[in-house]
Structure 1
Amino acid sequence: MSDEEASMSELSDDYSDAADDFDEDMEQGYDDDSELSEGFISDSGFSPLGDPSSTCSTDRRGSLDPKGKGKARASNISSFRRVGEVEFRVLSSQELKDEQSRAVDYVADMLKLKPEGAAVLLRYFAWKKEKLLEAYMEDSEGTLAKAGIQESGSQPRLKRVRGFECSICYDDSNQETLALSCDHRFCKACYFTYVMAKINDEGESRRIQCMGNDCNVIVDERTVELLADDDTLARYRSLLNRTYVDDNNQLRWCPAPNCDYAIECNVTPRQLNCVIPTVECACSHMSCFGCGEADHRPCVCPIVKRWLKKCADDSETSNWIQANTKECTKCNSTIEKNGGCNHMTCKRCQWEFCWVCMGPWSDHGTAWYNCARFEEKGEKGIEDVQSKSRASLKRYLHYYNRYANHEQSIKLEKELALRTEKKMDEMQEHSTLSWIEVQFLAKAVQELTRARTILKWTYAMTFYLAKNNQTQMFEDNQNDLEQAVESLAELVERPLEEDKIAQLRQQTTDRTVYVAKRCKVLLEDTLRGYDEQRWIWADPIKL
């Protein structure tokens, strides 16, 4: 019996318990990772690779229920939860507004300011309350002036002023006018046009200034409400929400298309070489809080950034050129050999030379197309450079092809998911299984996608790892998961046989559980390796 068959047999013995746990995990979005990952953070925190003296601790905020499901502590406040190494919470647009309102009320109460002024002050200080209060206590008037607040003036309101002439449009009819606390007055029509252009055309919201020359008094939210139509007001408030998120290092917008949720996570840039801050939005999109890319466990952000750049730029084109072309020794033009003959003639300068030794062709005498100086020391150096370039390219393509293969398989499995739905319908027609009982196929496809995503990034990680015993162990785990994934994929795509549906259900569920277990083993060991500083990179990580 093979190792894999033995593992399958062991899993079948306690199949019912494993299947129940697996079904629950599937329904909850693999919150099982939440439990296992709590062990990844040691009491002393993480230490960046290559810098034993520094610490890389993760601030874990909030509280978790025993199963890590992240149930809300209060009905109107999103709770912190965990799917990987860090806690996070998802905030809706309304929750973002509520967060801002609480901060505004706090500052307004502390400094005895109007709420509109407190909001302008907070936005000026990028919502850093401590910095704001410190500056205000040192110089209250100067701080307000720099922020664009003039508390002593009257509240902005629309009114008609007899005999007033707008200094912009020179209209002197008896129309409504508006002045901020600075008392620079303009007609409502001009102010409306100005504010609409700032919001709709320039995307400005927090620093819309008075139209008066050299006046920095800010057009606050109450004033915008006096002027804007409903659509523009909605855009203005949306822009304010966006600036709130952009100003806060612990907030990031969900990168999924057309998603309006923001995610809060207390992880710092310095931690990103040893922590993978995986988060899951309410829209179900999983991403990395550190870099914004899709979930890339078990690869840390600096390696992901380096790998994606390597795949996107022309560095490997350069390697190919070095491996397959040479420069003319006279004019330095790049020449590609397109035939078997070693007698080369540069098209640019007509220089004739030998492709093997790069020496003048005239020196070859009667040797003709057989270079007799291939082993000479100087030419051997050239061949060494060529060999290294070829070896570098071959190594890169080895890992890239496997990375790209899983990426392509993930895309194809979206089509497989559609075919699986049809197969599930067929199962119901030809057996007594209910719709819930045939869900094992859909769960298998979900697990395949998850496992292939992990495998994809293991190849990027291996490319940068130095060769040692730890890397060999990592590759062993990688190979085990690879075999488990291919075994499950073959089973899922197998044609349906009516008399073997029960057997297919049993085998598919067993192998799906096994793939999930292998994913867990690989992630657990890899992430613990970051904590223990076991992973040695061929080149140091630089943030």
Structure 2
Amino acid sequence: MSSGSMSEDDFVASDYEDGFDSQEEDSDMEYEQTEDIGFSDMVTEKQRQKAYEVDFTVLPLTEIQAAQASASNHVAGILGVTQDQAAALLRSFKWNKERLVERYMDHAQEILDQSGVVLDDTKLRLIKRPKGFVCMICFDDSPNGGAVGLRCGHVFCQACYDQYLTQKIIEEGECRKILCPETGCNVVIDEPTIKSVVQPSVMERYHQLQDRAYVEDLDNLRWCPAPNCENAVECRLPHSSFTTIVPTVLCGCGYKFCFGCGQGDHQPAPCGLVKMWQKKCADDSETANWISAHTKECSKCQSTIEKNGGCNHMTCRKCKYEFCWVCMGPWSEHGTSWYNCNRYEESSSTDARDQQAKSRASLERYLHYYNRFANHEQSAKLDRDLYMKTEKKMEEMQRTSDLSWIEVQFLKKAVDVLTSCRMTLRWTYAFAFYLARDNMTELFEDNQRDLEVAVEALSELLEKPIEKEKIPELRQQVLDKTVYVGSRREVVLEDTAKGLADGRWDFFVEFGKV
């Protein structure tokens, strides 16, 4: 388990101060108890120091399982049931212990039935086939073999029950409530029955699904989305605050992501703006914008018309309305000016021209931000290729100088910072797209420009070939540029985060939590 609010800038600075010996955990972190979900004294949180940081805790799978066991034992002692029965009850209430105990005291049997918990399990699981038994799934009437029945009285052969449960668990990923195979029966199959029927590998998957469901049921927990990572992250910020802060967390596996929406780090843009921007880039809205910029609508029936000749006298094919392509006014008002419109001040055509101009301006504005957004995304992908080149450069430096492997790590750290700053720059353009124009926007763009200039300077420096006699000079330049780039990124993130918290930014759209 690890906890804290480490930023990229802290990462860079600490490495330089400690001779590039990366420190992933802080031994001086303060601890606080979180008894409501069973982590007790294991959970730690570090006091947030920067406006764009949030407090979080990384929890490995073993601690997730320990938290479930702790909560189950606690409830089992209160209700007088077994730990497995308590766990099943808690899953039905999404691990809300207080609500479960309160409801159980008043409606015990109802809660047991809804949760699929049977206190007297001697009547359950494998039984002998009764006389005249016919499995209503496979219609096997053989007296030999086992059968499975629940308190509802519906009995099926063991093979069909095994196949049914295996499909529910393996193929459908069900673990909360698996109902009796009988059509229309709402009796829940309890865990002891499942365990007695399915193969051990299926039961193992069942428990894995229960672990995943535990994290998904709690608002302050989220699984790390990185492939093959089994860590979860705890963040106690209320979801209502995600419009004023971007809750970026760093998993123990090294993957940085947004706790609010589960996507990769998108600071400084809040989740709501990110969702709107992605939709705008992905759907057909910009295709429609292009059509609007290159075509016009008939003033009478609103059919879309594309000009295919030089004549300005247009006739709508749908409604036969005649109008002027230049001013969009009725052609009947043009007199003898058949092909040369000079009527730019008439009210009948001004609105149409304004709408066309706004459409073109809207498209140009969108493309301005989108092209820069996409450019930094592409540059970040190319910068990742620097990792392989950087390793070769590091090996070359060792061969041609007296620097140790630790001392040449500055190149790799520089690429890490460069990639992180590219991602930040990428999302500053999505952020800026929705900003209303004012003095604060100009200040934001100044900070954005300074970061962009610094990033390009560092990128250019890292692309330079290594000259043996200039290695000490190159090393110092890279160190200085890396620290400066990190500081400019911090300025951008700090300013935008404080502006969100203070309500200083004026957006021309409304966005809510995701």
Q: Same-fold call, TM > 0.5?
A: yes
Residue 133 of structure 1 and its aligned partner are, at CA, apart by: 0.8
Q: CA deviation at 1:156?
A: 3.1
In the TM superposition, what is the alpha-carbon distance from 1:241 to its structure 2 partner? 1.7
Letter in 1 for 2:22: E
Aligned residue number for residue 178 of structure 1: 148
Is 1:117 the counterpart of 2:85? The answer is yes
1:94 maps to 62
Give the Cα separation in 2 of the matches to 1:283 and 1:324.
Answer: 49
Q: Using the alignment, how far apart are the partners of 1:273 and 1:542 within structure 2?
A: 6
Identity over aligned residues, as a percent? 50
Structure 1 unmatched runs, 5+ = 1-15, 39-59, 64-71
Shift of 1:455: 1.3
The question of whether the paired residues in 2 share the 8 Å contact of 1:150 and 1:217 is answered with no
- After superposition, where does 1:66-215 map in structure 2 within 5 Å? 77=42, 79-80=44-45, 85-152=53-120, 154=122, 156-160=124-128, 163=131, 165-168=133-136, 169-181=139-151, 184-211=154-181, 215=185
Mark the CA change 1:469 to 1:333 in structure 2 (over 3 Å): closer, same or farther: closer
**Paired position in structure 2 for 1:287:** 257
Q: Secondary structure of the residue that 1:287 maps to in structure 2?
A: strand
- The letter of the residue matching 2:80 is K
Partner of residue 245, structure 1? 215
Is 2:190 aligned against 1:220? yes
Question: In the alignment, which residue of structure 2 is the partner of 1:321?
Answer: 291
Q: Please state how far the C-alpha of 1:412 moved relative to its aligned partner.
A: 0.9
Q: Which residue of 1 aligns with 2:337?
A: 367
- Of 14, 20, 40 in structure 1, the residue corresponding to residue 16 of structure 2 is 20
Provide, for residues 66-93 of structure 1, a one-character-per-residue CA deviation record: whole Å limited to 9, x for no partner.
xxxxxx998xx56446886322223333
Assess if the C-alpha contact under 8 Å between 2:127 and 2:149 holds in 1.
no
Q: Is the 8 A contact 1:302 1:542 kept in 2?
A: yes
| 1:520 aligned residue | 490
Q: Tell me by how many angstroms 1:258 deviates.
A: 3.6
Deviation readout 1:115-165 (Å, 9 max, x if unpaired): 332222112112111111111112222222333333245253434457462
CA separation of 1:213 and 1:299: change in aligned 2, threshold 3 A = closer
Task: Give the structure 2 partner of residue 382 of structure 1.
Answer: 352
8 Å Cα contact 2:129/2:143 also seen in 1: no
Secondary structure of the equivalent of 1:367?
Answer: coil
Residues 300-326 of structure 1, C-alpha deviations (whole Å, 9 max, x = no match): 212222222222222223332222210
Aligned to 2:56, what secondary structure does the other structure show? strand
1:102 Cα deviation (Å)?
1.7
Separation of aligned partners in 1, 2:257 and 2:453: 26
Is the Cα–Cα contact under 8 Å of residues 315 and 323 in structure 2 kept in the other structure? yes
Structure-2 change in CA distance of 1:134 and 1:359 (3 Å): same
In structure 2, the residue matched to 1:310 is: 280
Instruction: Report the Cα distance in structure 2 between the residues aligned to 1:308 and 1:334, rounded to whole angstroms.
Output: 27
8 A Cα contact 2:315 2:321, kept in partner: yes
Distance 1:259 1:375, change over 3 A: same
Matches within 5 A, 1:408-419: 408-419=378-389
**TM-superposed deviation, 1:446:** 0.9
1:427 corresponds to which of 390, 397, 400: 397
Identify if the C-alpha distance between structure 1 residues 166 and 88 changes in structure 2 by more than 3 Å, giving closer, same or farther.
farther
Name the structure 2 match of 1:335. 305
**SS of match in other structure, 2:122:** coil
Corresponding residue number in structure 2 for 1:255: 225
In the alignment, is the contact (CA less than 8 A) between 2:14 and 2:23 conserved in 1?
A: no
Q: CA deviation at 1:18?
A: 8.2
Structure 2 vs 1, CA of residues 471 and 100 (structure 1 numbering), >3 Å: closer, same or farther? same
Report whether the alignment pairs 1:503 with 2:499.
Answer: no
After superposition, the C-alpha distances for 1:260-305 in whole angstroms (9 at most, x for unaligned) are 3322222222111112211122221111111111111122212222
In 1, the alpha carbon distance for the partners of 2:332 and 2:101 equals: 83
Aligned length: 492
Kindly indicate whether the alpha-carbon contact (under 8 Å) linking 1:154 and 1:180 is maintained by their aligned counterparts in 2: no
Task: For residue 444 of structure 1, report the CA deviation from its aligned partner.
Answer: 1.2
Distance 1:504 1:303 in 2: 40
Number of the residue aligned with 1:11: none
Describe the shift of the 1:186–1:320 C-alpha distance in structure 2 as closer, same or farther (beyond 3 A).
closer
Instruction: Name the amino acid aligned to 1:93.
Output: L
8 Å contact kept, 1:88–1:264: yes
Q: Distance in 2 between matches of 1:282 and 1:288?
A: 14
Query: 1:298 maps to which residue?
Result: 268
Q: Provide the rounded CA distance (Å) in 1 between the counterparts of 2:428 and 2:500.
A: 14
CA RMSD of aligned residues (A): 3.2
For residues 349 and 537 of structure 1, the distance between their equivalents in structure 2, rounded to whole angstroms, comes to 41
Tell me: CA distance 1:359–1:185, structure 2 relative to 1, closer, same or farther (3 Å): closer
Q: Residues 456, 17 of structure 1: CA spacing in aligned structure 2 closer, same or farther, 3 A cutoff? A: closer
1:470 paired residue among 432, 440, 457: 440
Aligned to 1:67: none
Amino acid of the structure 1 residue aligned with 2:389: R
Separation in 1, partners of 2:148, 2:14:
70
Query: Residues 511 and 186 (structure 1 numbering): CA distance in 2 closer, same or farther, change over 3 Å?
Result: same
For structure 1, which segment, 461-470 or 328-337, has the greater mean C-alpha deviation from structure 2 after superposition?
A: 328-337
Query: 2:446, 2:145 → 1: CA distance?
Result: 79
Which of 498, 512, 532 does residue 502 from structure 2 map onto? Answer: 532
CA distance, structure 2, for counterparts of residue 90 and residue 171 of structure 1: 54
Take 2:123 and 2:404, find their aligned partners in 1: how far apart are those partners? Answer: 67
Q: Quote the offset at 1:212 in angstroms.
A: 5.2
Say which SS state the counterpart of residue 520 (structure 1) adopts: helix
Shift of 1:178: 3.1
Give structure 2 stretches of 5+ with no counterpart. 1-11, 34-38
2:16 partner letter: D
Q: Does 341-350 or 447-456 show the bigger shift?
A: 341-350
Q: 1:342 to 1:61 in 2, by over 3 A?
A: farther
Distance in 1 (CA, whole Å) between partners of 2:471 and 2:284 is: 50
Distance 1:366 1:496, change over 3 A: farther
Note the C-alpha offset of 1:451.
Answer: 1.0
* CA distance in 1 between partners of 2:312 and 2:178 (Å): 71
Which residue of 412, 417, 441 maps to 1:442?
412
* 2:363 match: 393
Q: TM-score scaled to structure 1, two decimals?
A: 0.81
Q: 1:306 and 1:22, CA in 2 relative to 1: closer, same or farther beyond 3 A?
A: farther
Confirm or deny: 8 A CA contact 1:19 1:509 kept in the other structure: no
